Amino acid sequence: MDRLKDKIVLITGAAGAIGRAASDAVRAQGGIAIATDLAGQPGIAHALDVTSEDDWLRVVADAGRAHGHIDGLINAAGIAALGTVEDTDYATWRRVMAVNLDGTFLGCKHAMPLLKQRGGSIVNLSSVAGLVGGHNFAAYNASKGGVRLLSKSVALHGARLDPQVRCNSVHPAFLEGPMVDEIVKQTNFPDAARARITRDIPLGRFGTAEEVAELCVYLLSDESRFVTGAEFAIDGGLTAR
Ligand SMILES: NC(=O)c1ccc[n+]([C@@H]2O[C@H](COP(=O)([O-])OP(=O)(O)OC[C@H]3O[C@@H](n4cnc5c(N)ncnc54)[C@H](O)[C@@H]3O)[C@@H](O)[C@H]2O)c1
């Protein structure tokens, strides 16, 4: 119950499946979750569009005034888009890169002054699509692959700080929830798409946001104090073959 006792954790995309589950898990483990998402989304403390540097500066300043430091950051805001390199239009490419990669960069950059007050841990939501390619995932693959390597650079920088800041990436496969519902809706045969995805996952089912949240708790907690720059597939074995 106390694995994150008194740890202050800023979470983006906190109205979404993983962000909400992670906020709940942080609180359940005795931490303080600062929940952020786009303005108007339910259950959040701060409006934060991760693509807006001004928003980051405002929210980090508010958190600094309220707490003086933070112990953790979960970059969970993200969007998905289906499309091959040929049929992805440039506006979609730019938007996916802006939210998934620029947003994660801005978070790591602007939360760092608060994280390095006492040392801390960053968890970046990448995807299995950040580890392996898909023919119709051009923009999403590129953005999530970027998050994977950005996380390693941040980890190496954070290791040189005193106190140190750790950073790891998390790579879920398909989870039950709105993001996958939206992806399968974009295919011509959603039921067949769901069945095929399930067949492709060795453990034979979609994952859940709560399972990803449990991994986030581990990475935010002191149990993972020797873990940084690492990538964690949570994918039912999808990328094992
Ligand atoms: N759901 C999955 O199957 C899955 C699998 C692998 C990786 N992921 C990644 O995990 C993260 C969370 O996914 P999820 O399942 O919770 O998705 P979700 O769609 O349920 O939630 C995403 C949240 O991000 C928010 N968001 C979108 N654009 C934003 C912006 N510009 N600024 C701030 N917030 C913004 C949305 O409002 C939403 O609340 C994403 O980065 C996603 O790519 C999800």
Protein residues with CB under 6 Å of any ligand 1 atom: 12-13, 15-19, 37-38, 41, 48-51, 76-80, 99, 125, 127, 172, 174-175, 177-180
Q: What pLDDT score was predicted for residue 160?
A: 98
Q: 190-216 pLDDT, tens per residue?
A: 899 999 999 999 999 999 999 999 999
Look at residue 42 in the predicted model and tell me its pLDDT.
96
Cα 106 to middle of ligand 1, angstroms:
16
**Strand pairing partners for 83?**
137
Which numbered atom of ligand 1 lies nearest the CA of 179?
19
Residue type, 86: E
Q: Are residues 82 and 194 in the same domain?
A: no
- What tens digit of pLDDT does each residue of 113-171 get? 999 999 999 999 999 999 999 999 999 999 999 999 999 999 999 999 999 999 999 99
Atom of ligand 1 nearest to the CA of 19: 16
126 is a domain residue: yes
Give the domain extent around 131.
Answer: 8-172+208-232
- pLDDT score recorded for residue 126: 98
Q: How far is the CA of 108 from the centre of ligand 1 (A)?
A: 17
Write the CA distances from 226 to 46, 159, 163, 164, 216, integer angstroms: 32, 10, 14, 11, 15
Burial pattern 68-95, b for ≥16 Cβ within 10 A else e, equals eebbbbbbbbbbbbbbeeeebeeebbeb
Checking if the pLDDT of 1 tops 90, the result is no
Same domain, 199 and 218: no
pLDDT at residue 182, rounded to an integer: 84
pLDDT of residue 219: 99
33 and 97 housed in the same domain: yes
Q: Give the CA-trace dihedral at 165, 168, 169, 172, to 10 degrees.
A: -120
Report if residue 36 sits inside a domain.
yes
Tell me, yes or no, whether 135 and 184 share the same domain. Answer: no
Taking the CA of residue 77 as reference, the ligand 1 atom at the shortest distance is 24
pLDDT value for 178: 84
Residues 35 and 163: their CA atoms lie apart, in Å, by 25
What mean pLDDT comes out for the span 232-239?
98
**Which residue's CA is minimally distant from atom 21 of ligand 1?**
16
3-class secondary structure, 229: coil
> Whose CA is closest to atom 20 on ligand 1?
16
Give the residue from 45, 91, 21 showing the smallest Cα distance to 234.
Answer: 21
Of the residues 140, 166, 179, 207, only one is catalytic, namely 140
> How far apart are the C-alpha atoms of 182 and 163, rounded to whole Å?
41
Q: Are 215 and 170 in contact (CB under 8 A)?
A: yes
120 found inside a domain: yes
pLDDT at 183 over 90: no
According to the model, what pLDDT value does residue 185 have?
86
DSSP string, 35-56: EEESTT-TT-SEE--TT-HHHH
Q: What are phi and psi of 83, to 5 degrees?
A: 160, 135
Residue nearest to atom 42 of ligand 1 (CA): 78
Neighbours of 6 (CB within 10 A): 9
pLDDT digits (tens, 9 = 90+) for 17-38: 999 999 999 999 999 999 999 9
Judgement on whether residues 142 and 197 belong to the same structural domain of the protein:
no
CA 179 to centroid of ligand 1, rounded, Å = 7
81 and 186 together in one domain: no
Please identify, by atom number, the ligand 1 atom nearest to the C-alpha of residue 100: 41
The verdict on whether 218 is a catalytic residue reads no
pLDDT in tens, 75-98: 999 999 999 999 999 999 999 999
**What does the mean pLDDT of the chain come to?**
97
179, 215, 235: residue to mutate for ligand 1 pocket, most atoms within 8 A of CB:
179
Is residue 187 scored above 90 in pLDDT? no
